[in-house]
Amino acid sequence: MSSYIKNIIRFTAFSFLSLFVAFANEVQATHLRAGEIIVRRISCDANRYEITIIVYTDTGSDVRFGEGLLDFGDGSDPIQLPQIDNTSRGDLGQEVGTASFTTVHSYSSAGRYKIGYVEANRNEGVLNINNSVNTTFYVETEIFIDPFVGCNNSPVLLIPPIDRACPGVAFYHNPGAYDPDGDSLSYELVTPKMNLGTDVNGYEHPNDQQFYNSYADANENMDGPPDFEIDPITGDLTWDSPGAIGEYNIAFVVREWRFLAGEWVPMGFVTRDMQIIVEDCENERPELIIPEDICVEAGESVEEAIIGTDPDGDQVKIEAASVVFDRGATLEPDSVFRNSPLTADFTWQTSCEDINLNPYQVTFKVSDNPPEGPSLVSFATWNITVVGPAPELVAANQENQSIVLDWDEYTCQNADQIQIWRRVDSNPYEPDDCETGIREEAGYQLLTEVDPMSVTYRDNDLSPGAKYCYRLVATFPSPYGGESIVSNEICSEPTLATEPVITRVSVDVTDEVAGEITVEWREPFDLGSLTAPLNYRIYRSEGQTGSANRIMVEDNIVVTSTDPVLTTYVDTGLNTTDLSYNYEVVLMDGADEIPSEGTATKASSVRLTPVPELKRIRLEWEAVVPWSNTIVDPPEDSRHLIFRGEEGATEDELVLIDEVDVTQYGYVYVDSGQFDNTELRDDIMYCYRIMTKGTYGNPDIYSPLLNYSQIVCAQPSDTVPPCQPVVTISQPDCESNSCGFTEFENELSWEVGFEGECESNDVSYYEVYYAESTESEFELLTTVETTSFTHRNLDSYKGCYRVRAVDRSGNISEFSESFCIDNCPHYELPNLLTPNNDNCNDVFSAYGQEGSMQDENGNVISQCGEVLDPTKCARFVKSVDFTVFNRWGKEVYRYEGNAGSENGIYINWDGRDESGANLSSGVYYYLADVTFDVVDPSNAKQQMKGWIHIMR
């Protein structure tokens, strides 16, 4: 049993035992109304925390706060609090007091810790808790300690958890919560607790029917039942509206979230147990007028008026709660009753340190001051977003085959990175007010990130003929995060390189075996000393990127003219149905290829993927090309064309049904039948083809560049999974070079089966899973579009694989059968030892390559100068435990060795016993326990027995 569980048991038992005694002796221990636990990390370099329990009490009770138990959640003993005097909170009513206790605790390691406090008792007479006077009060807060996520403190709640309400009038509350680390907050209602994991007995929601005379019309407008809820984002608590007069307790959790590595990670929470006091009154609720949510650049000043009014003409006061007041913001006047209407001036001079991914919430509270009866309040939340100012790009100058960017030093020293974004051709959009980062469909791609103090960058990864345009974005570190407004755009002149310029990779025919793709290019802008005729080679690889199954498809394409000319090549016999392809065009100088001055330029075919949905089909397409398929000007060239037809239709039979402005919508189109105002049918297969439009932004290269995708077909509402793949694995050849294994790779291939109710022709990609051994869990290794995969850079051959297919609708096939590849282990020992220093059998060693020589043919030579049979070499051996016995069975020598260690697996025994004395000539016997490196650990250990003849 863990120490944590033991502690919980000890805590719970101790709590109830002590409280039972309290119940038996003093039923009038009736004083706790509300409270919470706030945790502050003292140092980010140590797991040391300041823990504060804040409670609100009933001043009519003689019992003082304290003598409850505080558990730290880490298995350490809970502590009992001392008694602490209450402090009256007249602003909350003469019967309300407050008290607090603070302690410091250190945690020994990272983890999640739930800090809980339990005490007797709640105050008497709470309407929605059964027998509240004999019910313990319990609150808890969770903290998350992890050195990889950074420093963390609990949320802080600034507005007290005691508020008053009137029957029939909507009630509002907001805790005024903020997170000191800039984490995002969320809110949810929970049931108040009486101990760890135990809800109070007989709890009813405040809007339960028993608290109302006329439940059906009990809201403020008297047109519906009452509602009780909390806004999960703002924390606004609404009770529309209270019924029976009396005291009610509720609880809610304030959770903190941090955005890490692309996802929101829960960091901890604070539970607030709060009390609402409903009193008879004729008062009307005051009102607030606040500004619209705003966004400002860091360094700007925020100056706004907050207005509070009261319908009864009573005096009002305006209060505010937010972390911004710790950052220099002011509200004047604050917490002072004045005549209605009251105007309070909010002022905040922002700085770079205030930049935040999330808006700052400022919670305003207005209270009235009626001559009789309770004060009523209203809340309003104002959001202020502070973003980084835009970086300023100065120049983009071409130097040889590079482009050098220069920019002004960024003004905010607390930036984390400067992102460099690039696209082909210009998109001179102006960001909207406070729009941060790169606009999603603007056609830019993230090139790299550099140090925030950098002022220059050299871009060497250029494709010939392209006009490159750049923008910068500054990002800021966690936990606050955030980014800047995008910089101005600066473009370079088109690059004039020595490579051919690919202008087209278009699918002409879609077929599994007879597909065709047209590849088009123009000659290099800089031919150097080359003259006509020009010779080209074309290489093709499977997939949109990479060099999978790369082959040369044409060796000698001759072009006789040196004038700018477009050359085309039609590649045939392709599987354009299932595969996409990328191409390289290489210029020749005689029989030699002219190497690229950077990364070889490739261009892929357009790959179209349909995603069936309910009564519609979503189309998505992409191409990895050196030009831009997002054209901004002229606008008509920004529209990609959508073609549709019936199943079996050829390219010429498809009909243009729509156009997509990719600068607004990206490479996505949803067909719901809008073309002919007819709903798509689930029993019909619809076939599509896309034509993209692209540009290099170079006036010497025609535009738009038109390229077609393959034809794909799909049915709406597709729920049929692909068929199960059938996998074939090539086993290693262990006989060809058994002495020299240095590089390991496993080749897998598969076909899609046709058995059962499944689809075989709509696979989008395959998932390849891998396990190191038969006892290991399978984990996703990679995803591929092809029906083969080579697993490279392995330490050995051993491993198990299985594959499953995923179709365009996200349906997943059954896993293929699991296939394992094993190493081919071997270990062989000789039976002769002649330690006479003639370099032949001087030591007793396992057969293998260690210490051996090679002849001119690469053969391994044994100690005696003989060519060693490669099948005898030791391979895939992890350890050896070797023992020698004399003919009477007495142990005379022992050796233990492990692969890769100083004591290796080859033994190299010189015929001496344990004391170092030479053993006499004769026959000895050995026992060797050998552990092999194999896929099934249960087969790893083998025992070998044999004899050794020592001849001196």
pLDDT in tens, 587-635: 998 888 888 766 678 999 999 999 888 889 999 999 999 999 999 999 8
Asked whether residue 25 carries a pLDDT value surpassing 50, the answer given is no
Task: State pTM to two decimals.
Answer: 0.67
pLDDT band at residue 737, thresholds of 50, 70 and 90? low
pLDDT average, residue stretch 749-772: 82
Distance CA 387, CA 401 (A): 36
- E strands, 829-916, are 832-833, 844-845, 853-854, 860-861, 877-885, 891-898, 907-909
Q: Give the chain's mean pLDDT.
A: 89
Distance CA 732, CA 746 (A): 8
pLDDT average, residue stretch 164-169: 91
Q: What pLDDT score does 385 carry?
A: 95
pLDDT average, residue stretch 2-28: 37
Neighbours of 190 (CB within 10 A): 14
* Window from 186-200, 785-799, 918-932 with minimum mean pLDDT: 785-799
Phi/psi region, residue 577 (left: phi>0; alpha: psi -120 to 50; beta: rest), is alpha
pLDDT average, residue stretch 720-729: 90
pLDDT average, residue stretch 345-368: 94
pLDDT band at residue 752, thresholds of 50, 70 and 90? confident
Buried b (16+ CB within 10 A) or exposed e, 373-409: ebbbbbbbbbbbbbbbbbbebeebebeebbbebebee
The CA–CA distances, whole Å, from 533 to 497, 557, 588 equal: 19, 10, 10
Q: Which range has highest mean pLDDT (16-30, 754-768, 796-810)?
A: 796-810
Asked whether residue 4 carries a pLDDT value surpassing 60, the answer given is no
pLDDT average, residue stretch 640-652: 94
pLDDT average, residue stretch 941-945: 94
Q: What pLDDT score does 37 carry?
A: 98
Asked whether residue 155 carries a pLDDT value surpassing 70, the answer given is yes
Q: What pLDDT score does 1 carry?
A: 36
* Torsion, CA 828, CA 832, CA 835, CA 841, rounded to 10: -50
More confident residue, 615 or 274: 274
The CA–CA distances, whole Å, from 770 to 346, 730, 745, 789 equal: 60, 15, 13, 12
pLDDT band at residue 539, thresholds of 50, 70 and 90? very high
Distance CA 546, CA 530 (A): 30
The CA–CA distances, whole Å, from 228 to 168, 208, 375, 763 equal: 13, 9, 21, 49
Distance CA 849, CA 258 (A): 55
Distance CA 874, CA 850 (A): 9
Q: What pLDDT score does 13 carry?
A: 36
Going by C-alpha positions, the residue among 542, 606, 543, 538 that lies closest to residue 571 is 538
pLDDT in tens, 816-847: 999 999 998 999 998 999 988 887 888 998 98
More confident residue, 21 or 333: 333
Report percent pLDDT > 90 for the chain: 67
Q: Which residues are bridge partners to 346 per DSSP?
A: 304, 331
Asked whether residue 11 carries a pLDDT value surpassing 50, the answer given is no
Buried b (16+ CB within 10 A) or exposed e, 822-840: bbbbbbebbeebbbeeeee
Distance CA 908, CA 842 (A): 9
pLDDT band at residue 645, thresholds of 50, 70 and 90? very high
pLDDT in tens, 34-58: 999 999 999 888 899 999 999 999 9
pLDDT in tens, 857-915: 556 666 666 667 777 888 899 999 999 999 898 999 999 999 888 889 999 999 999 89
Per the structure block, which two tokens stand in for 449?
């990130």
DSSP string, 712-763: EEE-TT--PPBPPEEEEEPPP--SS-TT----EEEEEEEEE---SS-BSS-E
Q: What pLDDT score does 656 carry?
A: 96
More confident residue, 767 or 867: 767
Task: Please classify residue 634 by burial: count the beta carbons closer than 10 Å to its beta carbon, then call 0-12 exposed, 13-18 middle and 19+ buried.
Answer: exposed
DSSP string, 585-620: EEEEETTEE---SSSPP-EE-BEEEEEEETTEEEEE
Q: How long a stretch of residues is the chain?
A: 952
Query: 3-class secondary structure for 899-951?
Result: CCCCCCCCEEECCECCCCCECCCEEEEEEEEEEECCCCHHHCEEEEEEEEEEC
